[in-house]
Amino acid sequence: MLRKIYVVYLGLSVFLYAQNISAQIGGNSSFNFLRMPSNAPLIAVGGMNVSVRSIHMIGQNPALINKEMNKNLLISNQQYYAGINTTALTYVHNFNKIGPLALNLYYFTSGKIKQTDATGNETGSFSANQYYISIGKSHTINYYSLGLNLKIAGSNVAGYNSFASLADIGGVFKHPTKDFTVGLVLQNIGFTFNNYTSVEQSLPFDVQLGTSYKLEHMPFRFSILAHHLHTFDIVYLDPNKKQPLDANGEPIVEKKSTGDKILRHFNLGGEFFLGKFISLKVGYNHLVRREMRTEVRSGMAGFSFGVLVNVKSFEFSYSRDWQHVAGGFNCLSLKVNFSELLSKKTNLPFRSTN
C-alpha cells in the first residue's frame, strides 16, 4: 500500500511541476531556503553532495539512506549575519518490515526585522521564518538504491503564510568492491498552495548528478557534482553593473562565455582521513564564487572547509563557508549513534547497588 502511495504522489508531482520549470535560477522561485545545506560536513564539501553514503547527505539524496544509519541522530546549527540562523535535525530508524526511514526537520529564521511606514518611520518589528519537515525512504536492489523524500514546507512573513508540497527522487549506484558511488536526484518536485499572492509561485527545482571515489591506497576521497542539469545557461549578468568603455567611449557589453556556462554547474569536494577519528573536508562551488564576487575582488567566496572528530558514539563537526568577500559563516553539527551507544551500555557487566 505504501509503495502505491509513493507512485501516485510522484506521478502527480512530476505532472504538475513539469509545467512550471523555469529556465533561470535567479529570483524566479519561492522557498529558495530549500537549496541551503543543513549541516557542517555537507557545507564543508561545497554545500552539495548526492553520492557519499552518510547521514549528512541524505537530505540531498534519499537513496543514500541505509540500515547502517539506524538510530543515528544529527543536530546542526548555522549562524548568519544579523541574527539569521538555521537549525536542522535528522533521525534515521530501521524498521523490521519496511526498512530505514529518515526524518528531517529544518528551521530558518531571519530574526526580528524593523517595520516602517511609507515615509520610513519605524512602527515596530516583524519576523520571517521558513521551515520544512520530510520523511525519506530508500530501497536497495543489489548495487542500486532508489529513494524518496516527501516534504511539506512552510513560510511565514509578518503573519502571512505560504506552503508547498514537494518530493525528492534519487538513485545511487554503489560499486561492489571499490569505494565508488554515483548518485542522481531530482530535487523539489511539487507545487505551492495558500500562496502570498494570486501569482503562481515556482519552486527551486534541480537535477543533480554526482560521483564520489576514495582512492584505494590514499586516505582521500573526492566528489564532483553537476547541478541544474535541466538548464544549460545559469549565468546571470547584472544589468546595473558599470561596464568599461571602448576607444570610442561606448560601453563594452559583457558577454557570456561557453566555458563559464559549463563551469557554473560544478561543485567540488574533498575529504582527507587522518586516521579513524579525524577527517578534514574542503569544497569549492564555482557558481557561488562567480555570483557573489564584487567588481573589485572575489575573496574566498565559493570556498569552504571543515573538520569532523569521531569520539566513540559521537561525531563533532565544524565548517566555515564563504558566501561573499564580506566574510564567512560557521556551522556546528553533532551526530549521536544511539544504536552503538545503547549496545555498549547493554554489554556493561552487572554491578550490584548493595
Q: Does residue 58 belong to any structural domain of this protein? A: yes
Residue-level pLDDT at 81: 75
pTM comes to 0.85
Q: pLDDT per residue over 162-188, tens digit each?
A: 999 999 999 999 999 999 999 999 999
pLDDT of residue 28: 62
User: 319 with 41: CB under 8 angstroms?
Assistant: yes
Residue 55 lies in a domain: yes
Q: Answer whether residue 277 is part of any domain.
A: no
According to DSSP, residue 242 is labeled P
- Is 293 inside any structural domain? no
Amino acid at 65: I
Eight-state DSSP code of residue 39:
S
> How does pLDDT run along the chain (354 residues), one tens digit per residue?
444 444 444 444 444 444 344 434 555 678 889 999 999 999 999 999 999 999 999 999 999 999 999 999 999 999 887 778 999 999 999 998 889 999 999 999 987 788 888 888 888 878 889 999 999 999 999 999 999 999 999 998 888 889 999 999 999 999 999 999 999 999 999 998 887 777 777 899 999 999 999 988 899 999 999 999 999 998 887 777 777 776 777 777 778 889 989 999 999 999 999 988 999 999 999 999 988 887 777 888 899 999 999 998 999 999 999 988 778 889 999 999 998 888 766 555 544 343
The answer as to whether 229 is a domain residue is yes
Type and span of the H or E element at 55: none
pLDDT for the residue numbered 27: 57
Q: Is residue 89 part of a domain?
A: yes
CA angle 49, 51, 55 (to 5 degrees): 75
pLDDT at 5: 40
How many domains does the structure of the chain reveal?
1
* CA atoms of 349 and 298, how far apart (whole Å): 59
CA–CA gap between residue 96 and residue 221 (Å, rounded):
32
Instruction: Flag whether 44 is in a domain.
Output: yes
Flag whether 111 is in a domain: yes
Three cell numbers written together for 177: 568492491
Range of the domain at 179: 2-116+123-235+245-256
Which pLDDT value is given to residue 347? 57
CA atoms within 13 A on the CB side of 321: 30
**Per-residue pLDDT at 353:** 40
Residue closest to 189 by CA, chosen among 151, 231, 155: 151
| pLDDT score of 246 | 67
Q: How many helices (H) and strands (E) does the chain have?
A: 5, 14
Residue 330's contacts (CB-CB under 8 Å, 6 or more residues apart) are 78, 79, 318, 319, 320
